[in-house]
Amino acid sequence: MNLHSIIISSTLLCPKVRIQCLRLLPRSPLPSPCPRTTLQNLQTSKRAKRYNRRLLCFEQKEEGLQSTEELQPVSSSEKKGTVAGAMAFIIGTSIGSGILAIPEKASPAGFFPSSISIIICWGFLLVEALVLVEISVVLWRRKKKKKKGEEGETGMEVISVRTMAQETLGDFGGTLATVTYVFLGYTSMVAYISKSGEILLQSFNLPSPLSGFLFTLFFSLLISVGRTRAVDQVNQWLTACMIGLLLGIEVLAVQFGGWSAMDGGGDWRKVPTTIPVIIFALVYHDVIPVLCAYLEGDLPRLRVSVLLGSIIPLLALLVWDEIALGLLAQADQLIDPVELLLSVKWSGISYMVEWFSLLAVGTSMLGTLLSFSAFFKEQLSNIFSDLSTREALKEPPKFCLMKN
């Protein structure tokens, strides 16, 4: 068998070293160790031409198909994710227990200025989320095409924020995005653990450190042990219960405060101070990479999920802002509207507020933990993949060194 045929057939069986091995080969036929006749030299020249054509075909295939494959969805016989599940992740991550305290920060601006600022912040975050979806889908499909046909591929292939930043902004952008993402993620989880411990202390009289640890352990085990479908179902149920409790709180608040907030004016100069609080209350972008893998890079379904999933927190925040400002209008001084509700003699309102806060913290923590686990999983996978590739390229395979 000819040397070039051996190398080409061997590299087809070893995709990791295919391009590197082919590019190391000479373009001209290898020198003959012994004298050849004119006929043999002619045959060798023909083989070299066939080899060059085959090598050129391989290179064009590797370089030319990338642009078309990135725009085509990966075919799948079974859709693993649903739009309802993706919407639940967005709603659960966006709505936190802090939504109940936003009217206290927005009350100096008034209802109409604060509502306009809420809508503007929502539109800005929606555009940002759709841009992240586009980038994540392109990179996810590219990665999926490269790994297509490899054995041992399990779980969701998530494109992390670091990878998206590296591909679009370079190494410095990837490092900056990683530091920011990890910092915000850890600070958010610390706040969730602290808040959950405080709520469980009031509800079950458990020590705050112990209750926070058990609360975090439950969701960590759910993500580690449970499959994607189990995590999806649990998140959907928790999100549905959270929205139901929020609607109940708003109905009770209407009975005490009505819609009197619409009667007052507003101070537009106070709007800038409310923007950071509103953005933090509506943000959900850390789960975008997970949703891309969850819906298997289906761009239309991702767009619908992001749009509908972000509208529900927007409406909930607008309604609660109006009701809570109506409650504050009846108070003698500026206090937390939740404290006004808790001052009602009916004890059920306190349980509703506590359980809503607990579910809001739980769904937010579930989304953050899921995003964090996928982020570190991809980083570790990239590290081990680079190490294995370097080891494979240190010494060429023996079959690449065979002689005629």
Structure confidence by residue, pLDDT tens digits, 227-286: 778 888 999 999 999 999 999 888 888 877 656 555 556 788 888 888 888 888 888 998
Residue 377: HSE in the Cβ half-sphere, 13 Å Cα cutoff = 16
Per-residue pLDDT of 200-217, as tens digits, reads 888 888 888 898 899 999
Per-residue model confidence (pLDDT) at position 134: 94
Instruction: Look at residue 384 in the predicted model and tell me its pLDDT.
Output: 76
Mean per-residue pLDDT of the chain: 76
pLDDT at position 315:
93
User: pLDDT tens digits for 174-186?
Assistant: 899 999 999 988 8
pLDDT band at 313 (very low <50, low <70, confident <90, very high): very high
pLDDT at 91 over 90: yes
What region does 60 belong to: left with phi over 0, alpha with psi -120 to 50, or beta? alpha
pLDDT for 150: 53
Is the pLDDT at 2 greater than 60, yes or no?
Answer: no
Q: Report the C-alpha gap between 88 and 366 in whole angstroms.
A: 11
Give pLDDT, residue 16: 47
245 contacts 348 by C-beta, under 8 angstroms: no
Query: Is the pLDDT at 60 greater than 90, yes or no?
Result: no
What 8-state DSSP symbol labels residue 101? G
Residues 6+ apart with CB under 8 A from 215: 193, 196, 197, 200, 362, 365
Per-residue model confidence (pLDDT) at position 401: 46
Residue 255 has what pLDDT? 77
Environment class of residue 55 by beta-carbon count within 10 Å: exposed (0-12), middle (13-18) or buried (19+)? Answer: middle
Highest mean pLDDT among 66-80, 184-198, 302-316: 302-316
Quote the pLDDT of residue 265.
64
pLDDT band of residue 49 (cuts 50, 70, 90) is low
Q: Which residue has the higher pLDDT, 391 or 187?
A: 187
Task: Return d(Cα 338, Cα 193) in angstroms, integer.
Answer: 21
What are residue 110's DSSP bridge partners? 266
Which pLDDT band, with edges at 50, 70 and 90, does 28 fall under? very low
Q: Enumerate residues 6+ apart whose C-beta is below 8 A from 210.
A: 197
> Greater confidence, 57 or 172?
172
| Three-state secondary-structure class, residue 110 | strand
pLDDT band with cut points at 50, 70 and 90 for residue 30: very low
Yes or no: say if 21 and 7 are a contact pair by the CB < 8 Å rule: yes
Which of 245, 192, 199, 243 minimizes the C-alpha distance to 367? 192
d(CA 163, CA 139): 9
Chain centroid to CA 127: 15
Residues 59, 260: Cα–Cα separation, whole Å: 70
- Rounded Cα gap, residues 1 and 187, in angstroms: 63
Q: Is pLDDT of 90 > 70?
A: yes
Spatial distance between the Cα atoms of 337 and 148, rounded to a whole number of angstroms: 54
Determine the pLDDT at residue 66: 45
Contacts with 317 (C-beta within 8 Å, 6 or more apart), sequence order: 99, 102, 118, 278, 281, 282
pLDDT at residue number 395: 53
Mean pLDDT of 385-393: 68
Count of CB atoms situated within 10 Å of the CB of 249: 20
What does the pLDDT read at residue 34? Answer: 47
Query: Mind listing the pLDDT tens digit for each residue in 70-79?
Result: 444 444 444 5
Burial class for 1, CB neighbours closer than 10 Å (0-12, 13-18, 19+) = exposed
- Number of neighbouring beta carbons within 10 Å of residue 93: 29
**Percentage of the chain with pLDDT > 90?**
23
- For the cut 50, the answer to whether the pLDDT of residue 69 exceeds it is no
SS3 at position 266: strand
Name the least confident of 1-5, 264-268, 289-293: 1-5
> DSSP per residue over 151-210, as a string?
TT--S-----HHHHHHHHHHHHHHHHHHHHHHHHHHHHHHHHHHHHHHHHHHHH---HHH
* Cβ count within 10 A of residue 46: 11
Q: What is the pLDDT of residues 100-142, one digit of tens each?
A: 778 778 888 888 888 899 999 999 999 999 999 999 999 988 8
pLDDT score of 73: 47
> Which of 11-15, 127-131, 355-359 is the least confident region?
11-15
Q: Cα–Cα distance between 142 and 147 in angstroms, integer?
A: 9
pTM given for the model: 0.74
Residue 396 vs residue 376, higher pLDDT: 376
